[in-house]
Structures are given as C-alpha cells and as structure tokens.
Structure 1
Amino acid sequence: MPAAIWALAIATFGIGTTEFVIAGLLPGIATEFGISFSEAGYMATSYALGVFVGAPLLIILGARVRQKTMLVSLMGELSAFVDVHVLLAMGITVLGPAAFFTAITYISPMMTELTGYSNNGVTGILFLFGLGLFIGNLLGGKLADCALMPLLYVTLAGQALVLFAFFFVVESRVASAICVLLMAGFGFASVSPIQRLVMDKARAAGAPNLAAPVNIGLFNQGNAIGAWLGGWVIALGFGFAAPNWVGGILSTFALLLAIASGWLTVTHGVKRKAAMACVAN
C-alpha cells in the first residue's frame, strides 16, 4: 500500500481518537472542573462544531485556485444545495451520526451509575465500541457499492432498534455490552453509504467540489447536536439512560429521510424513462 495511504490512515486514526476520547474522560472532566456530566458533554459539541465550520473553510482556503475563479465556482455550486435530493442526503448525514453520538458521549456515567461497571469495566465497553466501529466501517465500505440504499435502510433501522432496546436493558451488563457493540456497528456501517449518497446527489446537482468537505462538516454537526441533546435530556432530569431513546428517535428520522430519498430517486428514474420513451416515439 502506498505510503500516502498509510499517512492518511494514521491521521484518520488520530482524528477519530480525538473525537471519541471524550466519552471515556467525561467523569474525570466533570470532577476536575466541578461541573455536571451534561456540561462536560458539551465539550464534544464544541469540538464537533469547530470541525463543522473548519472543514469546508480549509478545503476552500487550501485549494490551488485563483480567488476569483474559486468564488465563481462556489456561487455555482452553492445553488445546488437547494436541490431536494441533496437536502435529504444532508439531513441523513446530520441525523444518522447524531443518533449514536447522543448515547456514546455519556456512556461512562451511564455504565457506572446504571449498569454497575467500574471505571476499568468502562474501558472494556469503549473497546467494544471501537471494535463495532471497525467492523461496521469495514462492512459498510464493502457493501455500499453494491447495495447503497438497502444498506442504508438496514443500518439506520438497526441503529434505532438497538438504541431503543439499550434504554430498556441498560441495567444488564451483558445486554449493555452487546448494545454498545451493535450500536457502533450499525452506526458506522451507515457512514460509507451516507457519504456515497451525499456525493452522488451533490455531483448530480452540480456541486462536485463541495460534496466531500460539506459532508464532513454535516457529519460533525450531527455529532454536535447529538452530544448537546444527550446532555440536555440528562440536565432535564430524565436520567443517564435517556440519551438512548433520544438517539433512537434521531435514527428513526434519519431512516424516514432515507426512505423518502429512495422513493424520490425511483420516481425520478421512472419519469425520466417515460420522457425518453415519449421522445423516441
């Protein structure tokens, strides 16, 4: 494998670790600064918002294109983001990641306060979460090319069901561990099809250059929303298990958007074939 790919892989590992490490450090941060768990969780929100703003800016500022040419290109591409297919794909990008980030941000207090794990036990839970991410990302990447929309339906539905189940079985150590593994697996198995969907729809709408950076930004916007919502329901007194059912609702909405996107794609394809047939006749 080329050295450049290894470099990108290592950089991705570092970025991913930075993004998810807050889940294990949350109790220590809350204790150290004398704040609540929900307030500590907002650190994940602020980090994700930084990426949401920074990713597109770095792409734009780092591009080796004359500023006037870049401005004209951006104006043309931004107009593509009012396309309904693009907007639906962007909504899935926000809500899908938001679902599992709502729960995983507060997994440490959830496991220690409700499930009965020790701090060392939480380390094992986070290992299962990482394992689920690895397996889900691997399978999602392999299957996205051959079954994009069916994979998206299955992963978003699976994520929703697991999160709802997690809320009810959170006091069981074994069931909680299984839910964390499956939540991560379904969650990251949806990343590749979501990325492919956004890029395909944005490219079709005339925005090929902004598709990737905007998608990364939206992914992190979802992370920010998820972490904030999880902390919000905890602060309202719904308990440490509440982020699970909130995540389940978010994943359900993402699934509905995916179904709508698939239906519109099929409808558009049928109409286009009918129009071509009329022209041929």
Structure 2
Amino acid sequence: MKKKLLPLALGGLGIGTTEFVMMGLLPDIAADFNISIPEAGHMISAYALGVVIGAPLLVVASRNFAPKKILWTLMVVFTVFNACSAFAPTSMTLLFSRLLAGLPHGAFFGVGSVVASRLAEKGKEAQAISLMFAGLTIANLLTVPLGTYIGHHYSWRYTFGLITAIGLVTLLLIQLWLPTLPVSKTGNLRTELGFFKNREAWIILLITAIGTGGLFAWISYIAPLMTEVSGFSADQVPYILILAGFGMVVGNFVGGRLADKISPVKACLLLLLCMAVSLLVIYVGSGSKAVSLTMTFVAGGLSLAIAAPIQILMIKTASEAEMLGAATTQAAFNIGNALGAFFGGLPIAMGYGYTSPELVGASMAITGALLAGLLIKRRRAYSAETVPGSQQEALVEF
C-alpha cells in the first residue's frame, strides 16, 4: 500500500470498527446499563442516523477548506466522541455519543474517496479507493472480533478506548503522510447543491440503498441462520464472521480492479447480479455446512466488492460536487443497512424461517441491478443523441 494512502485506510479501520463492533457488544452494554438488548440496539440506529445526517452537511460546511484539513477535522470529531462513548455514565449519554461519532463517517469516506482518486495513477482510481476501504474490510476481519472479545471478557469501554487510540494514530498519520491537495471548487454552493437535481445521481443512490440492502438482509441474520439452519454452534459464529471478513478483504480489491477494467457502472451491474445469485444459493443450500461456509466467504466478498465501483461512479457523475456526491453515497449505504435489516426481518416475523431473508435480499439486489441497467441505457441514449459514434462507448464507460 502506498504510504500516502495509509492514513485513509487507517481511518477506515477505525470507522469500520466502531460501526460493526456494536453488534457484538449489545449484550454487554445492555447488562452494564440494566437495559434490554433491543434498547441497546438503539445505539446502532443512532450511529446510522449520525452518518445520514453528517455526510452531506459536513461536506457542504467544509467545502472551502483543503481536503487534508477536512479529513483531519473529521477524525478529531470521530476520536473525541468515541472517547466520550468509552466514558459514558448513562445509556442516554452513550446514545448521543454514538450519534455524534457517526457524523464524520460518510464525510470521511466521501472526501477520502476523492483524495484517493486524485492521488491515483490514471486508470487506477477505483483501485486507489479500494485501498482506502481496505481498512473497513480489515476491521471486520481483525479489530471487530478483537473488540468483541475485549468487550466480553473485560469491558466494552476498553473497546472504545481501542477505537480512540486508532483515531489518534490516524490523526498523526494524516498530518505526516497525507499530501496537501488544493481546494477543488468548480462552482459555488448553489452549483454543488444542484447535485440533488441530477437524476443519474439519484439512480446511483437508489442502486446503493436498495442493491446493497440485499446483502444486509443476509448478514443481519447470519447468526440464527448458521445455528438454526446450518447446524453450527453459537461458539462457532465468531469464526464464521471472521471468514466473512476475509471475504470482504478479497472482494474489496477485486471490485476496485473490476471497476477500472470494465467501467464502474458495468461492474456494479455484474456484482449486483452475482449478489442475487449468491443469496439464492444460500437460500437453497444453507442446510449444508460446506455450502454455508463457502457462501459466507463469497457473499462477504460481494458485500464490499461494490464499494469502490459505486464510489468512483458517483465521483464521475457528480463532477461539480464530487465530495458531496461521494459522501451522500455513504449515507445511502447506511440506509441500505437499515432497509436490508428491516425487510429481511419481516418474513422471519411472519414465520417463514431464517432462510427467508435471502429471498428478500436477492430481490433487492436484482432491483439494484435493474437500476444499474437503466443507468447504462440512459447514457447510451444520451450518447447516441449528442456524441459522435466513436466517442459513445467512452461516455457509457464512466
């Protein structure tokens, strides 16, 4: 990994840890504050709400500052409120700390994606973005299981102490290793807010929220699927999640290379179709331990493979508001998280069993693929009307 991209990857490691470790810490937090696990689950929702609120607002508010300064400030906010989480005296204090800790999430990945693409060699922008998201994948492979272990055997507060330490190291590396890039403004505030009038940008946001929601329908209920259907013991579930994390690491780099090779929009279409097929295989074959383990790796890989393609697709689409567009895409990912978990839980509540979320997820992934196909069709129609034949394919490529 290039040294200048390491601060972005380390920031992704911290953000990925604080986002996903909460799932494993809920029983410990609930016991500590004497609340129910569903009440403790509000901490997850609060963080996701912070991401959705902070992604567009913080990018717009910081538009006049250089990217390095923006990223440093966002990481300060991240570090401070994760430290507040570690020392939270009440569940309500923790709830607000989680909300505020979520604010810089989308903006960091949004600004970081643009910075990574600017630092990349021509034609390798998506691969550079995938290097930033490598931190997020490694979090699921290493620090999330580690943080869960620390929370179970010592204290969940120590876990947030670990996250705070990652934030502090990230601040140091941003200062030392991240190049200083100039402020990039192609228009005024009104021009940037015009991003929200861009129909293609909204299609990309729908692809993100609906298409990626398909995999969240699966992973949100992976524990009961593995114990009740596949026949694994509860003690084996953490190791299965590590396997999913390893798949994420591999899939993230595959997605970056695929986007640079066949174009981001085509990569999104292909990956969403693969996602739908993988979920259908899980639905049919989850009674077999071998199939379950294999598809956990595959589905985990697909869950992060789309991250770099969708980011570079939005950056190129929102050319006059690239940071705002990239940050808003991160908000859409979190909306997909919520939608997948909600819709995936409905058939379980109706008594259709723990394999039923996979049918919901496959439907969401197919819907995302259809939207990607619509985007390709729109661009081809536009190029046929306005661009000479020799240049039409180039327009569709982004």
Normalising by structure 2, we get a TM-score of 0.60
Aligned mates of 1:51, 1:151 — CA distance in 2: 26
Cα deviation, 1:200-226, whole Å, max 9, x if unaligned, reads 1111xx433411211111111111211
Aligned mates of 1:202, 1:93 — CA distance in 2: 15
Cα deviation, 1:159-213, whole Å, max 9, x if unaligned, reads 001112211222211111111111121222111111111121111xx43341121
Aligned mates of 1:41, 1:270 — CA distance in 2: 50
Label 1:231 to 1:271 Cα distance change in 2 as closer, same or farther (>3 A).
same
Structure 1: stretches of 5+ with no match in the other structure = none
Equivalent positions of 1:1-281 (< 5 A) are: 5-24=5-24, 34=36, 44-64=44-64, 73-148=188-263, 149-203=265-319, 206-273=320-387
Cα deviation, 1:10-63, whole Å, max 9, x if unaligned, reads 221121123333555577789985557xx8777544432321112222223344
Cα deviation, 1:116-141, whole Å, max 9, x if unaligned, reads 11122112210111011111101111
Aligned mates of 1:45, 1:222 — CA distance in 2: 13
Contact kept in structure 2, 1:102 and 1:244, CA below 8 Å = yes
> Which segment drifts farther, 91-100 or 133-142?
91-100
Letter aligned with residue 215 of structure 1 = T
RMSD: 2.9
Structure 2: stretches of 5+ with no match in the other structure = 66-184, 392-398
Cα deviation, 1:143-165, whole Å, max 9, x if unaligned, reads 21221233222211010011122
Contact kept in structure 2, 1:22 and 1:105, CA below 8 Å = no
Letter aligned with residue 253 of structure 2 = L
Task: Determine which structure has greater relative contact order: mean sequence separation of CA pairs < 8 Å that are 6+ residues apart, divided by chain length.
Answer: 1
Contact kept in structure 2, 1:46 and 1:224, CA below 8 Å = no
Normalising by structure 1, we get a TM-score of 0.83
Label 1:225 to 1:111 Cα distance change in 2 as closer, same or farther (>3 A).
same
Letter aligned with residue 224 of structure 1 = A
Seq. identity, %:
36
SS, match of residue 117 in structure 1: coil
Contact kept in structure 2, 1:90 and 1:218, CA below 8 Å = yes
Label 1:24 to 1:169 Cα distance change in 2 as closer, same or farther (>3 A).
farther
> Which segment drifts farther, 156-165 or 265-274?
265-274
SS, match of residue 156 in structure 1: helix
Contact kept in structure 1, 2:213 and 2:364, CA below 8 Å = yes
Letter aligned with residue 211 of structure 2 = G
Aligned mates of 1:99, 1:260 — CA distance in 2: 19
Label 1:273 to 1:5 Cα distance change in 2 as closer, same or farther (>3 A).
closer
Aligned mates of 1:165, 1:26 — CA distance in 2: 30
Aligned mates of 2:28, 2:225 — CA distance in 1: 14
Contact kept in structure 1, 2:315 and 2:323, CA below 8 Å = no
Cα deviation, 1:250-277, whole Å, max 9, x if unaligned, reads 1000000001101111121111125999
SS, match of residue 322 in structure 2: coil
